[in-house]
Chains A and B, each alone.
Chain A
């Protein structure tokens, strides 16, 4: 049986030749992402800003009547709703700010949920209420802070681990690649205005784990080659390492993509944003291990000596004695 070979043997692509232009592109993309996050903002869900979210499916309509619904809900006197589709065109979420004073009296937010759901059901016979989430301001602030802590700690912890297993330059390289991946994903969320909720934070954490997969595989090979080819110049050695692991990189990324695309197209709509974030992360993560994590080692002046154990005082004495000084 002839086996499928996506990457020919012994490729010799000069990836690192283009490192500077790609670095510039990446930095521009990162800046653009931050710009988007700061100007357009993330479409934060009730998990992080507090409020109420009601999910509705219009079972016998191809498309949810978003505009009518917006008018109807606005008329109820609780302020302007944010109505958004998620997944299929007939599935929407209505988001509201909690009424004044709801922080002290939860029955006010109850009343709002009941009024809105009753109104939607009355006006649309095929409306099916799929869920109501009410999150108070206090809880949402805590959830936001917890999410921030989790992301920060995760990034630092994995960078520290890589520093421990490799060298400090590798830790910085991995951290940089990580920040790059997370930033671009955030940029995508700002651009598409997909809802950013707790699940997306889980997706970002997963992304941190899996985008590092690639980085680690490349780093592992760099370390191996550094020990093997002491005299090889760094850019050449990095190219060799990336080329040697290229087949693996392509096959693994494709494997992940196959399952993720199945999940994106056929999986539950509610986690569409979650899957989209991870899918994007796989692309960005693969790119960043080749073009972010590897070249940074040149600038941080990694060389074969980094992996030669340094001489202890005792060893130096012995060497000098041997050399007869």
Chain B
């Protein structure tokens, strides 16, 4: 137990020193001392509850993905069958599936063959993303499968994370954290952000831009009642004033184009009215489509629709061939800028909703760090006095182990880049109290063994051996609690769990292994006949 070969001594000290040195950047970052930039500087990150900032949890609505997939399939099927010259009718995409009639029953097999390539395998189960059934001889029903929807949601979420990242980067905030959480959620954390309003405006906007032709045949009375002519749909105006007293307008479902093929979007001011507008530039493909649409429909009105609401419905006075357009819609400078950023970063494939939001002011965090530090300092000092008074020389070893333990925790946290949160500070202080327990167990056991009449070396050896068992069991149960805390806890609690886990590992190392080394070296050097313990 008390034998330490030279290589082991060197190894133990090297490990301790490296971990303790890694704590230096974290400690100096709280002061004004500058470390040379050439040195590696692992630093403990401060959590939002300490640094101040915003935490936003966004949630997507999967039912929307289902509807989008059905509508997408609707378009694909129409296009495909049109190309094959097969006539279909009574198309409906409303009840969670797409259904249509094949007018010529003899073409049913041809239709099946045509639409089968439109479906794909989903997941690893071998299932497809759509089920195709034929009812009453010639009615096709296409239903998206759960696997297909899950896959689509998953893809949509990946895209959404990218879009969110682009939008936040455009705001110029520093070091945002954007992580997908679970199947339908995204966590956004922006340190130092005090007013998350702008951010939320930006993320709340799906930015799906569409240009659709206005159905001029629709009767105003029908539109007002929400009834659209066949092939058209009713879309509300974004602002009542834009419609000139009319709340909504009928637009043709097909034949429009989407505004996602853009190379740029910028906020500018309209030269005549000085109103903020958004200037969009199409890419080649999008520009061609836009040119076609405007060329074929000169003199007719078309609606500019953003996220399902009509911004404006101007007349096409002449073909727009330059590949750029101006969107006006009673914007403020801020909302025009937000729209420009959103259009540049692409539309979100799903709507995102804020389901949890936490903002922490900077003063509270700074206050907490200062108070945590004071509490830690005073607590450690008082504890050291107590332990020194109780265990003398062995207390010195315990205190030294304690200080190294604190440095090692900080160092390891810095190296693996974990985040220190408010409960984490408490975890720190707690670990200090608990780490001493190992030394108490050992020292009390040595005392006991001396009372039973064992000689010094034997008593120390027994003390370490017998106490180790209880120390081990107690630490394992702490690890179990910490792991579960990490698994089920949210942000700050996770941070606490991490500090606990690191603290458990380092405290066993410093309080058991290192003190044993020191005691062993002292016994060999001084060969005491009696222990003052």
For residue A138, CB closer than 8 A to chain B, the reply is yes
Q: Taking the complex as formed, is B374 at the interface, i.e. its CB lies under 8 A from any CB of chain A?
A: yes
Asked if residues A57 and B363 are in contact (CB atoms below 8 Å), the reply is yes
Complex contact B361–A270 (CB within 8 A): no
Q: Could you tell me the distance between the alpha carbons of A16 and B422 in the complex, rounded to whole angstroms?
A: 41
Within 8 A of B (CB), among A231-286: 244-245, 247-248, 251-252, 254-263, 265-271, 274-275, 278
In the complex where A131-B358, A258-B382 touch, is A149 in contact with B488 (Cβ < 8 A)?
yes
A106 touches B489 (CB 8 A): no
Number of contact residues on A: which range applies?
35 or more
A29 at the interface (CB under 8 A from B): no
* B-contacting 9-mer, from A68-76, A184-192, A202-210, A311-319: A202-210
- CB-CB under 8 A from A193, the residues of chain B are none
**Contact B444–A4 (Cβ < 8 Å):** no
Q: Is the interface of B mostly helix, strand, loop or mixed?
A: helix
* Contact A258 to B364, CB < 8 A, known contacts A161-B480, A201-B493, A202-B423: no
Nearest-neighbour CB distance to chain A for B214, whole angstroms, equals: 29
Q: Are A154 and B481 in contact (CB under 8 A)?
A: yes
Query: Is A302 at the interface (CB under 8 A from chain B)?
Result: no
| Complex CA–CA separation, A27 to B14 (angstroms) | 52
A153: interface (CB < 8 Å): yes
Chain B residues whose CB sits within 8 angstroms of the CB of A38 once the complex forms: none
B429–A263 touching, CB < 8 Å: yes
Task: Note all chain B residues with C-beta closer than 8 A to A149.
Answer: 488
Contact A220 B357 (CB under 8 A): no
* CA gap between A205 and B368 in the complex, in Å: 22
> Contact between A248 and B473 (Cβ–Cβ < 8 Å)?
no
Contact between A251 and B444, CB atoms less than 8 A apart: yes
Chain B interface residue count, CB cutoff 8 Å, equals 78
- Docked complex: B332-358 residues within 8 A CB-CB of A: 353-358
Contacts A165-B473, A266-B378 given; does A208 touch B481 at CB 8 Å:
yes
Q: Give chain A's interface secondary structure class.
A: helix
A135 part of interface (Cβ distance < 8 Å) = yes
**For B434, what are the chain A residues with a Cβ–Cβ distance below 8 Å?**
210, 213, 256
List, in ascending order, chain A residues with CB within 8 A of B470's CB.
216-217, 220-221
B427-470 residues with Cβ-Cβ distance < 8 A to A are 427, 429-430, 432-434, 436-437, 440-441, 444-445, 447-448, 451, 466, 469-470
Q: Are B361 and A3 in contact (CB under 8 A)?
A: no
Please determine whether B355 and A139 come into contact, CB atoms closer than 8 angstroms: yes
Q: With a CB–CB cut-off of 8 A, which chain B residues contact A116? A: none
Inter-chain contacts of B429 with A (CB < 8 A):
259-260, 262-263, 267
Question: Counting CB contacts under 8 A, is A158 at the interface?
Answer: yes
Chain B residue numbers with a CB within 8 Å of A80 are none
If A136-B356, A198-B490, A216-B473 touch, whether A271 touches B478 (CB-CB below 8 Å) is no
Given contacts A210-B434, A268-B372, contact A198 B492 (CB under 8 A): yes
Closest partner residue, chain A, to B476 (CB atom):
A161
11 contacts between A and B (CB under 8 A): A132-B358, A213-B437, A216-B477, A217-B470, A247-B447, A258-B379, A262-B376, A262-B379, A265-B375, A270-B49, A271-B423
| Beyond A154-B485, A268-B371, 8 additional pairs, beta carbon < 8 A | A106-B353, A106-B355, A143-B490, A154-B480, A201-B493, A209-B481, A244-B448, A268-B372
> B-contacting residues of A (Cβ < 8 Å)?
1, 3-6, 9-10, 55, 57, 104, 106-107, 109-110, 114, 128-136, 138-139, 143, 146-147, 149-150, 153-154, 157-158, 161-162, 165, 198-199, 201-202, 205-206, 208-210, 212-213, 216-217, 220-221, 224, 244-245, 247-248, 251-252, 254-263, 265-271, 274-275, 278
Leading 5 A-B pairs by shortest Cβ distance: A262-B379, A150-B488, A209-B481, A268-B368, A259-B433
